[in-house]
């Protein structure tokens, strides 16, 4: 590929905005087919097909499809700092709806929000052995402050377990202080080698819950309870089917005793860990002396947990629901649930239509509605743009609709003209409410069906290797790290989780043949 980056802007921005610009189809491999096609139809290249206006087909180039959607839908853009992203208002509105949906659930389970500093003394990280081993390769370290070399370097938080540990040790004295249930909404920094908007950026936004409990059982219950919260959110608000389960030893959080995750299948069959919950046992309690006196006046270590869900989840929404036309947002999280496109030819029609559009929008008070009043753009352009940006429902209102006392309704889950119906103006609000609920449900059903179609239970390792190229394998696994490493080397697939939902009995490990007590989900992962 020729150069696709510029020094001043996001280096990858160029790459993302258009893989070849579409202007020189002859020099771009991806366009040769199109060019050949147009030639055979005796149309000059570029005359009949505006290739740069279309997204790449998911099947052709899923990666490029994703990159273009993120930028063109104005969810995010590349920051001038390598690996960092700017979340644009449309993307942030989506994130706000996600945070609201989660925060509501956190409050309902008794958690309180707090703010912790982004700088952590470097020595804190070193207190827990596994933790420092896991995180030191990706730390950003501050060595100078106010022009002077710091006595102790500060790390920019990659996660807050250590500073939480320090403070909890200070706050917790008695069993009467427990449990402590705190959540943080913040951003963290991990110096990743290879980044991708939303999925893996140097800095990302998330929530991290941190709790301390009197007993190991309570901590385990909390860990599982918050994983359930993530499942509930993913399924009911994001319309994303997820598989909750236990992480393998190699996949678990650095410093945790046990990690759980929810795993989702993306549109290309790869897996995305979409949320995690960790039982930290007494690892951090011992490292930071988080101790309390129990009712018998005996000093005990706390058991702690942590759990997080990040802006990565936006990547999941994009890759689970999106189609070749662009983004499809689940109605419950969409920044705009309804977009109204007014249609008119002259000033008279314009005032007629806009007046009606205002009345109509007024009736939809409970919904998130936007009216596209932009001048100088054809309705057709607006249809395509809002479909690309994933608005679940579009209302088209022009003179014809007004004359017929009706409104044209277009469902995003059925793109193009096929998703259009004309509905009576009377009772529109109720109709729209039903349509949104229906879209929400159908997105989930569609995603679940897509996952089913690509989830297999291979007979042998040869079939296993084949199915994980484009989907999930649900297979007996011995649980040994060495075995997992060999599988990864041979197939690029890793265990995603050991689902809670297990068949009874035992079986032979898909790779080494050892008798195994449980089956794992294997897949290539983001």
Partner RNA sequence: CGGGGUGUAGCGCAGUUGGUAGCGCACCGCGUUUGGGACGCGGGGGUCGGCGGUUCAAGUCCGCCCACCCCGACCA
Least distance from RNA to the Cβ atom of residue 205, Å: 9
Q: Closest CB to RNA among 242 and 302?
A: 242
Least distance from RNA to the Cβ atom of residue 178, Å: 27
Least distance from RNA to the Cβ atom of residue 63, Å: 7
Least distance from RNA to the Cβ atom of residue 196, Å: 8
**In this structure, what are the phi and psi dihedrals at residue 25, rounded to the nearest 5 degrees?**
-60, -30
Q: Closest CB to RNA among 72 and 127?
A: 72
Residues 6+ away with beta carbon under 8 Å from 201: 83, 84, 85, 192, 195, 311
Q: Closest CB to RNA among 9 and 123?
A: 9
Task: For CA atoms 135, 518, 490, 319, give the dihedral sign.
Answer: negative
Alpha-carbon span 174 to 181, nearest angstrom: 15
Q: Closest CB to RNA among 50 and 299?
A: 50
Q: Closest CB to RNA among 214 and 523?
A: 523
Q: Closest CB to RNA among 292 and 307?
A: 307
Least distance from RNA to the Cβ atom of residue 300, Å: 29
Alpha-carbon span 497 to 52, nearest angstrom: 40
Residues 6+ away with beta carbon under 8 Å from 503: 519
Least distance from RNA to the Cβ atom of residue 359, Å: 16
Q: Within 10 Å of residue 178's Cβ, how many Cβ atoms?
A: 21
Least distance from RNA to the Cβ atom of residue 126, Å: 18
Q: Where are the beta strands (DSSP E) in 311-457?
A: 338-342, 369-371, 393-397, 406-411, 420-424, 455-456
Instruction: Please state the separation of Cα 345 from the chain's center in Å.
Output: 41
What angle in degrees, to the nearest 10, is found between the helix axes of 89-108 and 312-321?
110
Q: Count CA atoms within 13 Å of residue 249 on its CB side.
A: 10
Q: Closest CB to RNA among 73 and 214?
A: 73
């Amino acid at each position: 590929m020729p150069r696709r980056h510029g020094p001043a802007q996001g280096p990858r921005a160029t790459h993302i905005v258009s893989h070849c610009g579409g202007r020189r189809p002859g020099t771009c491999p991806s366009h040769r087919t199109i060019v050949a096609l147009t030639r055979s139809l005796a149309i000059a290249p570029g005359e009949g097909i505006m290739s740069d206006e279309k997204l790449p087909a998911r099947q052709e180039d899923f990666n490029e499809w994703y990159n273009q959607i993120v930028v063109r839908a104005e969810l995010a853009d590349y920051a001038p700092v390598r690996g960092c992203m700017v979340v644009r208002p449309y993307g942030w509105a989506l994130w706000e709806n996600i945070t609201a949906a989660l925060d509501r659930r956190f409050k309902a389970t008794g958690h309180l929000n707090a703010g912790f500093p982004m700088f952590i003394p470097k020595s804190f990280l070193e207190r827990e052995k596994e933790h420092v081993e896991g995180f030191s390769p990706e730390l950003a370290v501050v060595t100078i402050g106010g022009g002077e070399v710091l006595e102790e370097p500060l790390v920019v938080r990659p996660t807050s377990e250590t500073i939480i540990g320090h403070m909890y040790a200070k706050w917790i004295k008695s069993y009467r202080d427990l449990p402590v249930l705190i959540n943080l909404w913040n951003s963290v920094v991990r110096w990743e080698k290879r980044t991708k908007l939303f999925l893996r950026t140097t800095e990302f936004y998330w929530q991290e819950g941190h709790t301390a409990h009197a007993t190991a059982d309570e901590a385990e219950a909390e860990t599982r309870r918050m994983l359930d919260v993530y499942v509930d959110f993913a399924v009911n608000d994001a319309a994303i089917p997820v598989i909750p389960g236990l992480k393998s030893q190699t996949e678990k959080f650095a410093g945790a005793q046990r990690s759980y995750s929810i795993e989702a299948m993306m549109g290309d069959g790869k897996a995305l860990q979409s949320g995690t919950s960790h039982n930290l046992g007494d690892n951090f309690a011992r490292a930071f002396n988080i101790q309390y006196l129990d009712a018998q006046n005996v000093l005990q270590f706390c058991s702690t947990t942590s759990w997080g869900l990040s802006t990565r989840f936006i990547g999941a929404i994009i890759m689970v629901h999106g189609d070749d036309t662009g983004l499809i947002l689940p109605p419950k999280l969409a920044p705009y649930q309804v977009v109204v496109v007014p249609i008119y030819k002259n000033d008279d029609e314009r005032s007629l239509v806009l007046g009606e559009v205002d009345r109509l929008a007024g009736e939809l008070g409970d919904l998130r509605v936007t009216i596209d009043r932009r001048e100088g753009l054809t309705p057709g352009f607006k249809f395509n743009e809002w479909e690309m940006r994933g608005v679940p429902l579009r209302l088209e209102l022009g003179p014809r609709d007004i004359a017929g006392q009706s409104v044209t309704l277009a469902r995003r889950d059925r793109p193009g003209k096929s998703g259009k119906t004309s509905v009576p103006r009377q009772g529109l609000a109720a109709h729209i409410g039903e349509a949104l609920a229906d879209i929400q449900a159908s997105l989930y059903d569609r995603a679940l069906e897509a996952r089913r179609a690509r989830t297999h239970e291979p007979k042998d390792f040869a079939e296993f290797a084949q199915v994980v190229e484009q989907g999930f394998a649900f297979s007996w696994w011995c649980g040994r790290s060495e075995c997992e490493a060999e599988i990864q080397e041979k197939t690029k697939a890793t265990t995603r989780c050991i689902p809670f939902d297990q068949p009874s009995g035992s079986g032979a490990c898909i790779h080494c043949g050892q008798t195994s007590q449980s089956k794992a989900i294997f897949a290539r992962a983001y």
